[in-house]
Chains A and B, each alone.
Chain A
Amino acid sequence: MSRGPATAPADVIIVGSGAAGGMAAYSLTKAGLRCLMLEAGRDYDPQQEVNMLAPESDAPLRGSATPDKPFGYFDATVDGGWEVDGEPYTSTEGSGFRWWRPRMLGGRTNHWGRHVPRWGAYDFKPFSRDGLGVDWPIGYDDVAPYYDRVEKMIGVNGGPIGLENHPDSPADCLMPPPAPRVPELLLKATAESMGIPVRAAHTAVLTRDMPDPVAPRSACFNATPCSRGCTIGAMFQTTTSFLPMAKATGRLTVVTDAMVARVLTNQAGRATGVEYVDRKTGVRHRVSARAVVLAAGTGETTRLLLNSGEPGRGLANASGELGRNLTDSTGASFSAFIPGLADRPRYNEDGIGGQHVYIPFWLYQEQQRGELDFARGYHFEVWGRFGVPSPNVLPRVWGADLKKAVRSASGATIGLSLRGEMIPNKQTYCEIDPGVKDRFGIPVLRFAFRFSRHEVNQVAHGRRIAHALFERMNGRILDDPSLPPEKIMAAGGEIIHELGTARMGTDARTSVVDSYGRAWDVDNLVLMDGAIFASGAHKNPTLTILALALRASEQLAARFKSGAFA
């Protein structure tokens, strides 16, 4: 055991460098606090390591997914994924949760989906609406000012949505969205003829330059997949924005390869620092600070707390809620070959990395009237553009006929990926595995995961809608409509929206933290990642993680100023 490398004791230790940790470092250093950031993964510099323009044919196996690189060779995630060498996790029998862990500076922000919808009033008060789960201790109006600021800080393009529970941004928050592509325009015309809305997606990609003296970022140049990372800073990732900005204050120290094992506390029950293992040397270090921020990612933050404090009970767990209430978004994918799009005229369809439009949930009234057999919503993300046709649209022919078929089918498939809300249930949680430790000797997480009929019925409904849309386009549906919905749903964790294992609330008896992420039981311990979510909504969580981390950081800084940690 030795003292860590930071010479001066820090005001705040931040565990994790992704969306929440990056926001904490940015906000707290700007407020004048000295921060020590500990990142379990390796150092990472997108300027040096992102191969933005190389063709896929330069990559082994043409960039196909492999167990080593599950999203393809050029995906920015390095040294991590569903599996991390020497760092296992387990599942209870018959459950099969998959846990994505990047092990790199900037975490998941280096390669994420960048779809950043605002949550609405219903999303923060779900229990009040349907009697399921719990309400958040805060409502949309509490978060809205932070959404405004975060959208401007990270750079979001998009347009108005104008639908129930899909609040619009004030006029100056968003950059203009990119023009829709042909398949997206076809989807829009089709969906709207059936009363289903299609709107510009909100995406964390700059469509205008964002000047900054330290970390200037450029508008997207409409080529290359964002998941590779972005050397020009067009896509939001903490490694090209918050982290260099925070470092420029002179108040941020970053230590990478620092695998935090537990939070240290004194007899008064306050956090005094953390213990971490140097991943390269295996040496254990202890570092101290006046406050500790956990932003390690939902699972890792909860694992840290369960491995701290009282053996078998964990730290900040008087409520017994630590590890419970785990959710992931539901996921299912549907696609169709659209003969009307075959042989269509070529043009540059690259645009920004992802979808330009999407289908937001639109059935709140029907749901309120009891006409749906599931609670909560879902949305569809849209894909399909020129490229190599997938095998299932090509006829069983060879020779000149095959070449002709490939040319014709390129760009003629439309896909819809469903993302829906999961309601917390008693069968879905994580806990410490009593028998398994990782290569650092840290006990690992064991997951239990099960969907309820709400999620199964929701996916079945989404499939009927997707197929109806495809049929209206005279499409040939490529997925099997006779499979039971359970068979087409992504496994727990596969959508990488795990949330809720240290949820916030108004009552210390039923929640782990207050609305500022402060642990009820440990006054100077603040949680800032997805672990604190009281519900999962169907909307991608990162914008809300950033908004809540900003809100929590500013409250923490204010408490420092008021002498709370003197």
Chain B
Amino acid sequence: MTPSRRTTLQWMIAAAATPLARWMPPASAAEGASTPLLGPIADWPGAPPLPTTKGYGRDPTLMEPKVAWPLTLTRAQRTTIDLLGDMILPADDVSPGAGQLGVGAFIDEWISAPYPTQQGDRATVLGGLDWLDRQSIAQHRKAFAVIGEPMRGTMLDALCAAAPAGKLEMPVKFIDRLRHLFVLGFYTLPEGKKDMGYVGDQPTEGPYPGPSVDARTHLAALLAELKLGVRTT
């Protein structure tokens, strides 16, 4: 492609490929250090690999898109994912929560896919779900799904740390990745597009009309602010 042909999918590809390291300032704290919000940090567990399965191949039927591989989250894992979805992208007066909307099924589809990017995310997400329970049990003697919402919120706050270090690096990477997958899964749905105020995907005959009056007014103000003149044609 030439990559100009990539433009429409640019953000989706970026969502899949952008290295997480980009958001991470250099580690500074000592190995195994605790965070005031969490106390001592649990060890990062391993995650079982994906059972052998196949992708959709190089020539799938595009008129009837199908996910070719089985979903692999256990019921308990899926429950936690949905719960996290409703925390990360909660219901408000514009749109439902991500868990409520079933974006968890997309996360399951993603981490169950037999492709390298998705397999990498599988280790991060399954490891992360396991870690949440370990940390929660160590702290509260209960699994993550059954501690109260304020306690879960405290954990999420800690996992949005600006400069994660030591044992916190992997858990923060997990929440980063999960957050991005929820954004991708949620905002590509019709409900998500509506939430963003997306206008488009509608065949429009005749010449493309260009920006609306509102959009041009906003641009004119921006150009003035940037001292770039007010030309908008």
Which residues of A come within 8 Å of B, CB atoms? 42, 48-51, 53-69, 71-75, 78-81, 84-85, 111-115, 176, 178-182, 185-186, 189-190, 193, 207, 219-228, 329, 331, 333, 340-341, 344-356, 381, 383, 385-392, 394, 396-400, 402-403, 406-407, 410, 415, 417, 419, 472-474, 495-497, 540
Contact = CB atoms under 8 A, between A and B. Distances in A.
Given A81-B58, A381-B4, A392 B218 contact: no
A62 B179 contact: no
B52 to A, nearest CB: 16
A398 to B, nearest CB: 5
A345 B215 contact: yes
Nearest to B7: A383
A399 B9 contact: no
13 contacts: A57-B189, A60-B109, A61-B115, A62-B12, A73-B65, A81-B58, A189-B226, A224-B203, A346-B199, A388-B196, A390-B10, A399-B156, A402-B88
A337 B213 CA distance: 23
B226 A85 contact: no
Contacts of A221: 203-205
B106 A62 contact: yes
A178 B228 CA distance: 23
Contacts of B212: 345, 347
A112 B1 contact: yes
B145 interface: no
A80 B197 contact: no
Given A67-B116, A112-B5, A181-B210, A56 B188 contact: yes
A341 B199 CA distance: 16
Contact of A474 (B183, B226, B231): B226
A331 B6 CA distance: 13
Contacts of B115: 61, 66-68
The secondary structure that dominates the A interface is loop
Given A60-B113, A189-B231, A225 B199 contact: no
For chain B, which range describes its interface: under 10, 10 to 19, 20 to 34, or 35 or more residues?
A: 35 or more
B40 interface: no
A129 B190 CA distance: 54
Given A221-B203, A346-B197, A388-B11, A57 B87 contact: no
Contact of A346 (B13, B189, B198, B225): B198
A51 B65 contact: yes
A560 B118 CA distance: 56
Contacts, number: 320
Given A61-B110, A221-B204, A222-B203, A79 B58 contact: yes
A189 B223 contact: yes
Interface in B20-37: 22-23
B55 interface: yes
Nearest to B183: A406
Contacts of B156: 398-399
Given A65-B17, A113-B2, A347-B215, A394 B60 contact: no
Interface string B70-81: 000000000000
B161 to A, nearest CB: 8
A465 to B, nearest CB: 17
B18 interface: yes
B169 interface: no
A400 B179 CA distance: 13
A194 to B, nearest CB: 10
B190 A55 contact: yes
Interface string B89-114: 11010110000000000100110010
Contact of B11 (A53, A85, A390): A390
A497 B5 CA distance: 13
A344 B218 contact: yes
Contacts of A385: 7
